[in-house]
Structure 1
Amino acid sequence: METMTNPRIQKGKKYFRFLFFGILFITAGLVLFALAVYIYAKILGPPPLAVPQSTLYYSNDGSIIGESNSGQKRYWVPLRSVSKEIVNATISIEDKNFYHHHGFDIKRIGGALLADAIAMHKVQGASTITQQYAKNLFLTMDKTWTRKISEALYTIRLEMNYSKDKILEGYLNTINYGHGAYGIQAASQYYFGKDADQLDLAEAAMLVGIPKGPSIYSPINSLEKAKNRQLLVLNSMKENGYITEKDVKSAAQEKITIVGKHAYHRSELAPYFQDIVRHQLKTALGLSDRTIQLGGLRVYTTLDTKQQQIADDVIKESIAEDSDIQVGFTAMDPKTGFVTALVGGRNYDESPYDRAVQASRQPGSTIKPLLYYAALEKGFTPTTMMRSEPTTFQFDNGNAKYTPHNFNDQYADGEITMAQALALSDNVYAVKTHLFLGENTLVRTAKDFGITTKMAKVPSLALGTSGVHVIDMVGAYSMLANGGKKADPVFITRVEDYQGNVLYEYKPQNEQVLRPDLAYVMTQMMTGMFDKKLNGYASVTGSTIINQLTRQYAGKSGSTNTDSWMIGFTPQLTAGVWTGYDKGNEITLAADKRYAKTIWARFMEKSLKGEPIKTFKAPKGVVSLPIDPKSGKVATKDCPISREMYFVKGTEPNEYCDLHPGKGEKRLPKQKEKPKQDGWLHKLFNWL
């Protein structure tokens, strides 16, 4: 008997097979697509977790002195530096299944689609924290399919390559909290004036509620809406088991103080200093402009905020407000080379040109310590005598002449010691020394002292006619203060990226350049500008500020028709000041010529107030003797004035002063070696 097949059954089997193979084909396609996406994501590797962050600049005590950003405040902090209330509240309100999905919450997506379909418009979001973070990494809001696909791919890459804690950390550091605050740290500081790890439950719940609509739920824009949103977050935390009903009521009733102020702005403190730091980040460390501005760097500098404020204040109070005189100022720790304060001009907003670092100005007599150090190397001593009188030097067989002049055309009209010549700033003595040593000597010595500008090999170089930078001169004087070690200026001690990785760390230098004994002898000679015992045909050059000083200083002033200088130091601080006109106009007013000394004295005294009074310590091989300043010989009890002077052992004088009547006791300290005679230089210069 033949069995008849029901046509409907046959047709049903046909459709079933079609459906089965269709589903199988689609499933295989989806599997292949997923596999392709996985392989592609693996090839692309882990995406960067950071977005542009504000770069912060720190002083030597760790306080913020400035920042650079694109108008968005972003400060990256690790997850461990975020309060647990912030973490719990964020997960609870934004993505309660965050630790249980792989970037996409399928159940939540389905629920959102159903809710949108019922309402006929979008009423519920389904983005996970990972998806939102992927969106933030693009920093644009284009609503295109290309962007959405890219975000989905980013989400997959994030989940494949990073832990959940790392993803949450990135999300919290990039989300927009309104008012230019991006990231939890910037938001915590803006709204509550505290760091992210210090927020309590009430503050955390209010803050976490803001990203839903920063312009709507900001407590600054609407405290009522912010409180309503806060309560919603608190109830969500209760439902998800993070807090109790009691916690909800307590936090909801807590009175919160809103600050509404960003922690860091473009600092008015040390803008010239910060410019130099940014320049060094680019040139010395090789960082790009974008990395410097938006790389989230932590740049630790040498700036001393106390000294910088003192420098700013004394400059402002010392120079007349209506004066066009400009200023360049640098302070440095001579032991380390750390620049502790710097002023490049009187008003950065009007002129960012840095007169402490960029300007090249004639140093005048402040170059003389470098010249006399070279002379000490060649056998001169503090008591080497030469005549101070009007002198014309002839060159090229009489075809060229040069006549240096002392201030106010005052001269000793007789012999003076090098110590007194330095204290009185005798120009004739300086030029004679320069020519005797050879014009190349000072050029080479200036280079050894760290002077970077070109020196002209001319007789007037001894009087500071070749331009120098303020910061170079402060470094040069610091070498004398620290016993002859290299003192290149240092501005940056450490640089970290936004994750705390060290990109650069300063390594101290300890290069000996000068002879310690000669550096000490030179330093002691430089204390003479403040010692009235060295008064002679004129007063010592520091006489106008001696009464302002309360400790021992070494220094030198200098002036030209267009420049006024004062540089000096103690064992723990060196400072240098230049004042003058930008266009090189002549300084004519007597008050204008005193600005440099006044600023220097006030700065040093205020900066060192309360600090221990330190004296310069003599190295081995240095001896001291009481010297009569006029004769340059060992003083007796009949000498009306006696000054302790220092010599390299074996070069000290052994003749007693014979300018004063009487038979004073003549006794020299016992020496192991017979002192060498100093008279050959005296004879050598008789012809000058």
Structure 2
Amino acid sequence: MKNDLTVRRVIALLLTYVTLCVAGGVVGGVFFIPAVLGLNEAARVVGPSLKVEDIDFDVTSLPQKSTIYASDNKTVIASFYAQNRTVVPLRQISQPMQQAAVAREDKRFFEHSGVDVQGVVRAFVQTFIKHGDTQGGSSLTQQYVKNVLLVEAKENNDPIAEYHATEDTVARKIREMLIAVQMEKQYSKPEILQGYLNIAQFGRNNLYGVETAARRYFNVSAADLNIGQAATIASITKNPSRYDPSVPQNQPEAEKQRNIVLDLMFQQHFISQADHDKFRAEPIAQTLNLQDNSTQVGCQVAGDAGFFCDYATKQILNSKEFGKTAKDRNKLLNEGGLNIYTTMDVNANASAMQAARDTIPLNDPSGFEVVIAAVRPGTGEVLGFGINRIYDPTDAAHSDPTRTAVNYAVDQQDGGGTGWGVGSTWKPINTVAWMRQGRSITETVHPQGLYPRHSFSCSGYSGIANSWSVHNSEGGTGGAESVLDGLVHSHNTTQAAMAQQIGMCSIVDTAKTLGYHNAPTNDKVLSSKNWPGSLIIGTVASSPLTMANVYATIAANGVQCTPIALKKVVNKQGESLKVPSANCHQAIDPAIAQTTAYAMNQGVVRSDGQAKAAQLDNGRKTFAKTGTNGDTPMLTAGFVPNQVAAFVSVGNAEHDVSFKGKTINGQSHGTWYGYQIAAPAWKAFMNKYLADANIPIDNDYGNPDPKYMGGGGASGNGAGQSNGDSNNNNRNSQNSQQKQGEGQEQYGEDAGGEE
């Protein structure tokens, strides 16, 4: 009884096929197939307004691969996709490929009206009368319908619809037939063939569409596929996992299936006997030119560009420009067929990664990270990142300290950590704030060792402690000196004396104006009520990218920009999408930027300057500042005007681990300072990038304005230096002078020490 019922259901289905075919009408006449397939210019991408049963058959709406490019617009960083597909119009698919698909799937494609009656009869006879292999009898149009229903179900995350799109039931067949017949009334045969060739699966590992298959197996476009290649691809759809020729053990069966397609093409008069014999004789393994990377996805396959790739994708996933919700933005990235053109400079990123790993190798016993961020001044363009780690978002990174998915160069919301104490690299911000109050950097200030907290705040300090004890890294408060010398020698006490005179409000406002913000996502906003040390000698938690961008403002004549990773994003319709803006604007007076640059350069060129180790090659004018935050991270920041600003952090990105007594990359020091390791890393990156990018030397920047030099111009050896500077006696020794003001924060507060 059960078998009889099955036979009756099949007969009912057969009758339905016939009825639908009659109701749908028969295509008048038999097309001259080569002529039809040759009318490529008449074939067009199906318009989104053409729908059948509210199902969108627009070929451009199919999920497509998004590709991220470097700033040269040609170097591919990574690809993202839910389905690895590149949609192409029929005119960009070779005639042999079109013919192979028709020969393999539906030889009467150009004769029927969506349902192949003869095919159904043949399948019925073969399956139920001859008891042979199960035959489906589906036309190429029906197969296209089935694929579209399956894609729609997956896009809607609808497992029930996905099941109904693939279940082996009469109901599914009837629905496919109904839609197929309607489709034949609304769409041309070339349009249907175009849709099928773009939607079908042509291999394992999520490989869809003929263009992707052509690139994967033969490294050619679909337009250039020859007869043998076309037959190979056309044969795969019957069983993508078994007939995928990229798998060596599949190749004997893949070759057999290819030859079947060649036989069909010859029988259906698509190819000559000579071409049939020629391509049938070729071993399939010798015809392949496999492109392994074509099916790899995500930032984990971006190599040393992985950290930048992660940052760029976060800009898409976190920006409202790309969708109202996170789900919308994620779908756009993975299915939207975007071409994403980024700001990553290939030379800059490669140089940063090399400098980071040369400074402290991946497997160095110290375990310290070296993190570099680089920005192009005046544009906001992020040029690249260097981290002495391997980017790896998989679980393998949990047990391997050389791997991580955390980009320690960026803010927490952008995939980074909670930031680094920036130490004395903060001090140029104080210098800018001083001049914004109309003060000269040649003015002498008189440091103290103990300051009332309220004397720093313009709006009243809200903390518990009433006083702040501050001294320099070598101990003591030092003597009176100019603001310029205070920066050159990196004296904490001089910074405190400056802040007491101009107030915390001016420092907070200047930091924000230069582009500073804290790294933790939910961190409190900078406020004049913060305790003095955080905003005077740099114990705030910042990302290297933020600090590089602060220095970029000084490097661009005071033009401040928001960091950006995206230059242009084009969707699959060829439309340019809005991207986050750099919002470049004049933030500070160019004269202040130039004078600050002059002061930084003095720290490099003067014999007693803290940043001498950062001097760049070939006499290039160098603007840099080193720093050490207590005995934890070591830092260096600087720039080449209008070309590149970079920030280097060295330390443990997740915990405060002391450098004291550590051996790093084979070197040992009782006490480490920024000039010993961070400055050489910064210099190595800058020198290599500048050389590789052929950036010419231009030493015209950094001219101080007389009004910020006490009206009398600048002395090359520290204008305004006080004769009473009690530290002068120590400056004859390079080691002692370099240690002297390195920005090491020491706090001996009345309410309890805080480091």
Q: Give the structure 1 partner of residue 551 of structure 2.
A: 477
Q: Give the structure 2 partner of residue 315 of structure 1.
A: 356
Q: Tell me which of 257, 277, 299 is aligned to 2:340.
A: 299
Counterpart CA distance in 1 for 2:508 and 2:198 is 55
Q: Give the structure 1 partner of residue 202 of structure 2.
A: 177
- Shift of the 568–55 alpha-carbon distance from structure 1 to 2, 3 Å rule, reads same
- Where in structure 1 are there 5+ consecutive unaligned residues? 1-25, 636-640, 646-652, 658-688
Q: Is 1:282–1:288's contact at 8 Å kept on the other side of the alignment?
A: yes
Q: Which amino acid aligns with 1:583?
A: H
Q: Give the structure 1 partner of residue 650 of structure 2.
A: 579
Deviations for 1:383-427, whole angstroms, at most 9, x for unmatched residues? 33334x6643245699933332223237763433x3332222122
Counterpart CA distance in 1 for 2:20 and 2:172 is 21
Deviations for 1:606-627, whole angstroms, at most 9, x for unmatched residues? 11114132436569x97679x9
The 5-angstrom pairing of residues 259-270 of structure 1 reads 259=290, 261-265=292-296, 266-267=300-301, 268-270=303-305
Q: Which amino acid aligns with 2:192?
A: I
Superposed displacement of residue 567, structure 1: 1.4
SS of structure 1 residue aligned to 2:647: strand
SS of structure 2 residue aligned to 1:408: coil
Segment of structure 1 superposing worse, 57-66 or 90-99: 90-99
- Shift of the 131–356 alpha-carbon distance from structure 1 to 2, 3 Å rule, reads same
SS of structure 2 residue aligned to 1:413: coil
Q: Which amino acid aligns with 2:339?
A: R
Segment of structure 1 superposing worse, 314-323 or 217-226: 217-226
Segment of structure 1 superposing worse, 471-480 or 75-84: 75-84
Superposed displacement of residue 309, structure 1: 2.5
- Shift of the 587–301 alpha-carbon distance from structure 1 to 2, 3 Å rule, reads same
- Shift of the 260–395 alpha-carbon distance from structure 1 to 2, 3 Å rule, reads closer
Q: Tell me which of 375, 380, 383 is aligned to 1:332.
A: 375
- Shift of the 566–67 alpha-carbon distance from structure 1 to 2, 3 Å rule, reads same
Segment of structure 1 superposing worse, 442-451 or 400-409: 400-409
Is 1:356–2:409 an aligned residue pair?
yes
- Where in structure 2 are there 5+ consecutive unaligned residues? 1-15, 26-49, 152-161, 398-403, 413-417, 457-464, 519-524, 663-670, 724-755
The 5-angstrom pairing of residues 444-463 of structure 1 reads 444-453=509-518, 454-457=525-528, 458-460=531-533, 461-463=535-537
Is 1:612–2:695 an aligned residue pair?
yes
Q: Give the structure 2 partner of residue 595 of structure 1.
A: 677
Is 1:374–2:441 an aligned residue pair?
no
Aligned length: 601
Q: Give the structure 1 partner of residue 167 of structure 2.
A: 142
- Shift of the 126–555 alpha-carbon distance from structure 1 to 2, 3 Å rule, reads same
Segment of structure 1 superposing worse, 136-145 or 519-528: 136-145
Q: Give the structure 1 partner of residue 481 of structure 2.
A: 415
Q: Is 2:380–2:563's contact at 8 Å kept on the other side of the alignment?
A: yes
Q: Is 1:47–1:154's contact at 8 Å kept on the other side of the alignment?
A: no
Is 1:44–2:54 an aligned residue pair?
yes
Q: Give the structure 2 partner of residue 521 of structure 1.
A: 595
Q: Which amino acid aligns with 1:136?
A: N
Q: Give the structure 2 partner of residue 669 of structure 1.
A: none
The 5-angstrom pairing of residues 155-554 of structure 1 reads 155-156=180-181, 158-159=183-184, 162-180=187-205, 181-219=207-245, 220-254=248-282, 255-259=286-290, 261-265=292-296, 266-267=300-301, 268-284=303-319, 285-286=322-323, 287-320=328-361, 321-343=364-386, 346-349=389-392, 350=397, 351-357=404-410, 358=412, 359-387=418-446, 391-395=449-453, 400-409=466-475, 413-416=479-482, 418-453=483-518, 454-457=525-528, 458-460=531-533, 461-505=535-579, 509-532=583-606, 535=607, 539-546=608-615, 551-554=620-623
Q: Is 1:89–1:237's contact at 8 Å kept on the other side of the alignment?
A: yes
Paired-residue identity, %: 26
Q: Is 1:205–1:234's contact at 8 Å kept on the other side of the alignment?
A: yes
SS of structure 2 residue aligned to 1:576: strand
Segment of structure 1 superposing worse, 179-188 or 159-168: 159-168
Superposed displacement of residue 175, structure 1: 1.8
Name the larger-Rg structure. Answer: 1
Deviations for 1:182-218, whole angstroms, at most 9, x for unmatched residues? 2223322332244434433322222222223334433
Q: Which amino acid aligns with 2:680?
A: T
Counterpart CA distance in 2 for 1:480 and 1:563 is 23
Counterpart CA distance in 2 for 1:393 and 1:507 is 42
Q: Which amino acid aligns with 2:634?
A: S
Counterpart CA distance in 1 for 2:429 and 2:476 is 24
SS of structure 2 residue aligned to 1:171: helix
- Shift of the 153–579 alpha-carbon distance from structure 1 to 2, 3 Å rule, reads farther
Superposed displacement of residue 490, structure 1: 0.6
Q: Give the structure 1 partner of residue 94 of structure 2.
A: 83
Q: Which amino acid aligns with 2:292?
A: K
Counterpart CA distance in 2 for 1:193 and 1:239 is 29
Superposed displacement of residue 103, structure 1: 2.5
Superposed displacement of residue 572, structure 1: 0.9
- TM-score, normalised to structure 2, is 0.71
Q: Is 2:488–2:600's contact at 8 Å kept on the other side of the alignment?
A: yes
Q: Is 1:549–1:605's contact at 8 Å kept on the other side of the alignment?
A: no
Segment of structure 1 superposing worse, 419-428 or 153-162: 153-162
SS of structure 1 residue aligned to 2:304: coil
Q: Give the structure 1 partner of residue 638 of structure 2.
A: 568
